[in-house]
Chains A and B, each alone.
Chain A
Amino acid sequence: MSSLTIRNIRKVFGAVEVLKDIALRIDAGEFLILVGPSGCGKSTLLNILAGLDTATSGEILIGDKVVNNLSPKDRDIAMVFQSYALYPNMTVRQNISFGLEMRRVPKQEQGEIVDRVAKILQMAHLLDRKPAQLSGGQRQRVAMGRAIARDPQLFLFDEPLSNLDAKLRVEMRTEIKLLHDRLKATIVYVTHDQIEAMTLGSKIAVMQGGEIRQFGSPQEIYDRPADLFVAGFIGSPSMNFIKAQAVEDAGGVGLQLQTADGPFVLPLREAGEALRPRMGKTLILGVRPEQISDSGTVLRTARYAYARKFRIELVEPTGPDTLLFVRINGETVCCRVRPEQACAAGESMELAFDLSKAVFFDPDSGKRIG
């Protein structure tokens, strides 16, 4: 297993800059997620890593070796595709051993490797079938087996779960995670699904418009998003953004908020220290749905919180939690409460803001403040 270093990769198609100066590095054994909406350049970047596409400028290092000018087969990588890309005319066994055969691995050794891989992925009974005779999940498994058999320096996954149904996707997600723990492989994994990103990655690069908006550990990205895009993209339901004016409040900073029941000032206390220079200016408060909950829960767990009665506009039960929607400063704000605490739409209930994890954004640049 090797580390991966990407140095200032640019990709230009005619007048369009698809990748703008991408740079990042992961250590051997790390699981890197490239996540972003479609068209953000994540698949192009993966293809460049694989050698299926060329970068306009920049360098890619697998381990200490610059691989820019190496063909895909000489990069010692394996790739799992969204469409599985199994060879339809070959059996599962042949599919797995094809890459070994191309690398002139002796026949006997090929057989041993195939058997070992089949055991790891529990598909020994499928070895003599053709891909057409397999279900989607089994095909996915074979595609992974083909990658594992090669024992490469780097694994590339291109949205491998997006063709599976919801239940299978969760199962395979767990399986990929287990596999990573077991193989200690270096993996680059492209997805547009932020849940996959959070659950699988040891590092996440959130991409948009050909740029990396933030690169960090999942928790870092969840708790301290670099900008409004990252904050809104990661997390489901997504973070609430409330535009508000910073005002003086009992010697500290507060935010001027307005509901149907009238105006009030949300005291920020410690969380507002960084906002002092922006007194009187408008900024954006970012607060996740689970950070606005029934006051009982929040007041017990949060370092500091603010509770107030709100009128509930809409109620959406999801099972484990119920989502309540209230209106603050003209924005619909989503709050997450335990089902037994939820009231009916149209009623009022006391909700508490957990402000210890609140984040603030500059409304012009969209960047996080502090």
Chain B
Amino acid sequence: MVEVQRTETAGARVIGRVMLYALLILFALYYLMPLFVMLTTSLKTLDDIRGGNLIALPEQVSFDAWIKAWSSACTGVNCGGLSGNFWNSVSFVLPAVAISTLIGALNGYVLTMWRFRGSDVFFTLLLIGCFIPFQVVLLPMAQTLGWLGIANSTTGLIFVHVVYGLAFTTLFFRNFYVSIPEELVKAARIDGAGFFRIFWRIILPLSPPILVVCVIWQFTQIWNDFLFGVVFSSGERQPITVALNNLVNTSTGVKEYNVDMAAAIIAGLPTLFVYVVAGKYFVRGLTAGSVKG
């Protein structure tokens, strides 16, 4: 009797599992569908696209669209593909991520280990920065960039992203450093280390997990940004997101869906890369922390 009951519940459990996995697979397929369409379309020829089905596999795989998107697609009169804009993006995203992360780490260090009168108020004000929409800062920022003489330049774009990202990076690091005992800093001070030495030798080596989180976040934000890019840069200095938009919205000539798709994937690849590579370190950082107890 007991035996029978047990097998029944086991059976029910198996059915439950099967249902669960079926649903999960269904959702996964649903979410993967756009990527699948983009990939296959980018590998098709234009004839194939016109004659075939949206979700059909390409009749013959062709990388022409990728090559064109990268090196010879036209946006307006400029026919150099997206490669220039890709390197534009790289050239301001990397410094902007590095600078905003580093300053955020320093801010978090000061706000937790070197509290001053009004530091909590300062932190609260900084937090408000997280809730300010991009559009609100456009005009004042344009004016500021003008005053600073860095309007319409890569430096200006870096500046904008650093300033806008600080609220987030500071929040990340501050919340991470709050869990580090203050006694560590006290011990280092008695040992004779100063402000920056403690940061560099004690605090930063403890930070990889939050560094990775912060870099992923900032890289995604800045790389994917369109609004600041379109407002604060022009012509050849435009980031890839803006160039992609221009490419896809070009109204002259034949609509080359395969080139559009390839360009979109090229624009999205770096963030994907960061997630895949750094995400692994992120998980590793978390588990290392849990072992330490």
- Chain A residues with CB under 8 Å of chain B are 50-52, 71-73, 77-79, 81-83, 85-89, 98-99, 102-103, 132, 146, 150
Contacts and interface: CB of A to CB of B under 8 A. Distances in A.
A62 to B, nearest CB: 13
B184 A72 contact: no
Given A89-B202, A132-B292, A102 B192 contact: yes
Nearest to A97: B191
A103 B191 CA distance: 8
A102 B193 contact: yes
A79 B292 contact: no
A73 B292 contact: no
Contacts of B139: none
A89 B204 CA distance: 10
Interface in B158-207: 181, 183-184, 186-193, 197, 201-202, 205-206
A130 B206 CA distance: 13
Contacts of B32: none
Nearest to B184: A85
Interface residues of B, number: 19
27 contacts: A52-B189, A71-B189, A72-B189, A73-B193, A79-B186, A79-B187, A81-B186, A81-B187, A83-B183, A85-B181, A85-B183, A85-B184, A85-B186, A86-B187, A87-B184, A87-B187, A87-B188, A87-B201, A89-B202, A99-B190, A99-B192, A102-B192, A102-B197, A132-B291, A132-B293, A146-B191, A150-B191
Contact of A89 (B183, B187, B205, B293): B205
B2 to A, nearest CB: 45
B206 A89 contact: yes
B183 A81 contact: yes
Contacts of A88: 206, 292
B34 to A, nearest CB: 43
A103 B193 CA distance: 9
B187 A102 contact: no
Contacts of A150: 191
B109 to A, nearest CB: 15
A79 B183 CA distance: 10
A82 B192 CA distance: 20
Contact of A98 (B191, B206, B291): B191
A73 B189 contact: yes
A78 B184 contact: no
A52 to B, nearest CB: 5
Nearest to B191: A99
A72 B205 CA distance: 23
Contacts of A73: 189-193
Contacts of B192: 73, 99, 102-103
A88 to B, nearest CB: 6
A186 B12 CA distance: 72
Contacts of A78: 190
A44 to B, nearest CB: 13
Contacts of A52: 186, 189-190
Contacts of A81: 183, 186-187
A367 B78 CA distance: 94
